[in-house]
Structure 1
Amino acid sequence: MTIVRAAVLAATTLALSASLATTTQASPASPATPAPKRVVLDVSDLAQGAPPAIAWSERRSGRTVIHGTGGTTTPVANALDQFAPMGSGYVVQTIGRRATTRWIAADGTPGAGEWRTGYGLAVSPQGQVVAFAGRAGRVWTIDQEGDRVLRFNRLPVTGTAHAAAVTGENCKEGEGDPGFGCSIAVNGPRRAFYTSSHGIVDTVPHLRQVDTGRGRWLGGLTSVSDFGSCSAMLRSWRVTWRTCDNQLSDISTDNRHVLGTPAYADGFGPTALAVLATSDGSVVRSFSSARDGSSATYFDEVWEDADHVLVVTYQDGEWAVVRLGVDGSMEYAVAPRRGSMDTFSPFRLQTR
């Protein structure tokens, strides 16, 4: 009896298998649902993720500290506006009647020099050089050892200049590895220039203002009007593509993507952020406001790594640091904190 039942079961199983195989071959598997290209920038209820993988600052109880990637904390002035890791410490820029830039050690001890500068720091792709600029076309860099400040040939700027981008990782000609020099793109009141460690000073072609740069890529404004702006992306000084939909912001660490902010800036802060392909300007992902206005505005957009962007957000009376993925994901990198839109953000992200 057992042998007969086993034979019947085997025959039935073979018949069902053949039937299922025929059905499966006739009906191909349905593809996975792709992530939406447009994601609403609603950060009111996100999961808590890992802390930022880049340096960030926090102001709490009247005291401001920079959180380093190794868990260190460095006390800095409450007027901190921009900062970048450099050597064993940071290049910090504070705001007030005028911007002031200096180097500080990891314990907060200030270096010997202090400079009155224009707003903005520019950082080389690997973070080995930080540049800043000031009145009458003056430009300086601090190198990776944090011990030497180099001066560059002045730019033909009558007002205050603002550093925008650095190409090269060593500005000391012929020293170290690499020892090929550097150039710094700088914005004057009316147009952009560059000055190099070779002593060359010239205008940046095609761009009125440089907004971002990394390696051979350089992006910025070509025109501005009451109705918006237009921008272009250059590769090796040649225009690769143009857009009047976005202004260009930070370029990703692998050069594949560039952030696009609104072409027209108005109000408390932007509510839309686009991830564009650096090669052609096509939209890879966009984070935009809800139609009823119940979403976040953001500041300090910086690439954390090749696949994630960190932004400081404000929504419903709360500040937070949010991690945005190129895949459309969102999570908290620093948990929300109650605060007013009438005061400075309690968070800042390092300049890259």
Structure 2
Amino acid sequence: MNNERDDTTWESAMSRDFDARVRDLNEAPLDLTSVKGKAMTIRRNRRMAVAGGVLAAAAVIIPVAAIAAGNGTTVHTEPPVATSDPGPTPTEAVDTGGVEYVQGDTWHRADGTEVTLPHDYDSAVLWDGQLVGTRYDGEVYSTADVVDGQGQVVDSFDTTGAVAVNDADTTLAWVGTDGQVMTRWDGGQVSMGQVDLAAAGETIAWTVGAVTGGPDCHEAVDGCVVYLNSGLGEGSTAYDSHGIQDSPVPGALKFFDADEDGQVTALTEVADDHTCSELVIPGADPAWGPTCDHQVQQISPDGKYVAGLPSYFDGLGPTTISVIDAADGHVTGQFAPEGGFIGSWAWSGDGRLVFDTYDGASWHLMAMQPDGTIDELTDPVKGSADAGSPFTMVAG
């Protein structure tokens, strides 16, 4: 292998990652305390965490964006369909532990089949039986590919960041590079409104954090709510199908997740040595929240648990990951890699918290039951921390 070429590639990636982190400096306290996305899981940000100390000294971005509310403007109702070429056939089923994940360019499906993907993806969700992978191509924004079970890209669209999907995997949401807050389902799509993407430098003004409702997001049908995160130091907000723009969590700085029962997790305070977050449960007054002991992030499929991260962390990533009881805030399970860190995480359909972790020599893909029982899902992959994990969690 050509070492000079490898060094050039690595330096290019590091430069690209640094640019990406600098343009998100509005979230510098957030990015140093959480991995970006729902599953917020972008490998290039993890690689760039090596330069985390440099980011702390960068300038503060002045908010310059304004929001214009919309009211369900239909964009089109016939999303592109697959081409006639069936593409490669998925391989024979193998045991994946019932978990969906991507390793390199291979999509490991919960049914055990493997699908070869056309690209490596930084983040991925399941939507309507397809994988929607987001990839960064060196520009400010990203490209999302809709990939079918044969590995064929049936549609692509530009997005400001990772996409989100509802609990039923039927409704997709993202912020388009024209500022439209988009939702899509099988048979149609609609804009929930528009945001102003004007920002200093290469800062990304708005990204999607979560979506609930659907599948059809028209006001007269099912309706949806899209939760948006500001990249300009402004409060996060949400749009619904009635064209109403408001935050369900006053003072929310970042939405981590939301579910169909109305539960929402959000970051509410960032300090020099800690963060505080909140799990909002409609109609309830949980005695344990808000909390500054943990970051409460993704909600489990049954709504009974949340993923917990340390209140504050920097460097390569969190050194612990926890399962927290949503009813009382007690930690029911926890994993702490000795001398290592956690890369990215997402809940699987069977209610386990899936994550990748680095131990100083190899990357591991793990799954934790709510009671703390740990399973390793595949063979370890030798590698370095700065090169990034070979695994991408698939949310949904």
- Shorter chain as denominator, the TM-score bin is 0.7 to 0.9
Aligned to 1:9: none
- In 2, Cα distance between the equivalents of 1:156 and 1:234? 28
Change beyond 3 A, Cα 1:150–1:90: farther
SS for the counterpart of 1:153 is strand
Matches within 5 A, 1:319-330: 319-330=363-374
- In 2, Cα distance between the equivalents of 1:55 and 1:306? 11
Contact 1:54-1:69 at 8 Å conserved across structures: yes
| Larger Rg, first or second structure (1 or 2) | 1
Change beyond 3 A, Cα 1:266–1:172: closer
Q: Equivalent of 2:209, from 164, 170, 191?
A: 164
Aligned to 1:228: 274
- In 1, Cα distance between the equivalents of 2:211 and 2:176? 16
Aligned to 1:212: 257
Change beyond 3 A, Cα 1:323–1:112: closer
Is it true that 1:66 corresponds to 2:107 in the alignment?
Answer: yes
Contact 1:276-1:284 at 8 Å conserved across structures: yes
Aligned to 1:151: 191
| Length, aligned pairs only | 290
Is it true that 1:133 corresponds to 2:175 in the alignment?
Answer: yes
Is it true that 1:284 corresponds to 2:325 in the alignment?
Answer: no
- In 2, Cα distance between the equivalents of 1:226 and 1:260? 19
Matches within 5 A, 1:186-335: 186-189=228-231, 190-206=234-250, 207-215=252-260, 216-236=262-282, 240=286, 241-289=289-337, 294-305=338-349, 307-335=351-379
- In 1, Cα distance between the equivalents of 2:97 and 2:136? 24
Shift of residue 67 of structure 1?
A: 1.6
- After the TM superposition, which of the residue ranges 191-200 and 299-308 deviates more from structure 2? 299-308
Name the aligned partner's letter for residue 195 of structure 1.
Y
Change beyond 3 A, Cα 1:89–1:242: same
Name the aligned partner's letter for residue 104 of structure 1.
V
Instruction: Provide structure 1 residue ranges, at least 5 long, that are not aligned to the other structure.
Output: 1-48
Aligned to 1:96: 137
Identity of aligned residues (%): 23
Instruction: Provide structure 2 residue ranges, at least 5 long, that are not aligned to the other structure.
Output: 1-93, 200-204
User: As a proportion of its length, which structure holds more strand?
Assistant: 1
- In 1, Cα distance between the equivalents of 2:162 and 2:155? 21
Shift of residue 113 of structure 1?
A: 4.1
Shift of residue 239 of structure 1?
A: 6.7
- In 2, Cα distance between the equivalents of 1:148 and 1:90? 18
Shift of residue 318 of structure 1?
A: 0.9
Contact 1:205-1:237 at 8 Å conserved across structures: no
Aligned to 1:54: 99
SS for the counterpart of 2:308 is strand
- In 2, Cα distance between the equivalents of 1:165 and 1:256? 18
Contact 2:98-2:112 at 8 Å conserved across structures: no
Aligned to 2:149: 106
Shift of residue 185 of structure 1?
A: 0.5
Change beyond 3 A, Cα 1:150–1:71: farther
Please list the CA deviations of residues 231-279 of structure 1 after superposition, one character each: whole Å capped at 9, or x if unmatched.
1111239874211111122111111110111121211121111211112
- In 2, Cα distance between the equivalents of 1:155 and 1:237? 31
SS for the counterpart of 1:80 is coil
Shift of residue 112 of structure 1?
A: 4.0
Contact 2:302-2:351 at 8 Å conserved across structures: no
Contact 1:297-1:314 at 8 Å conserved across structures: yes
Aligned to 1:124: 166
Per the normalisation by structure 1, the TM-score is 0.75
Matches within 5 A, 1:1-12: none
SS for the counterpart of 2:387 is coil
Is it true that 1:82 corresponds to 2:123 in the alignment?
Answer: yes
Is it true that 1:350 corresponds to 2:391 in the alignment?
Answer: no
Name the aligned partner's letter for residue 180 of structure 1.
D
Shift of residue 106 of structure 1?
A: 2.3
Change beyond 3 A, Cα 1:158–1:281: farther
Name the aligned partner's letter for residue 222 of structure 2.
F
Please list the CA deviations of residues 301-325 of structure 1 after superposition, one character each: whole Å capped at 9, or x if unmatched.
2222465211111113111211212
Write out the 4+ residue segments of structure 1 that deviate beyond 6 Å after TM superposition: none
SS for the counterpart of 1:281 is coil
SS for the counterpart of 2:214 is strand
Name the aligned partner's letter for residue 268 of structure 2.
T
Contact 2:366-2:374 at 8 Å conserved across structures: yes
- After the TM superposition, which of the residue ranges 71-80 and 307-316 deviates more from structure 2? 71-80
Aligned alpha-carbon RMSD (Å): 2.5
Shift of residue 229 of structure 1?
A: 0.9
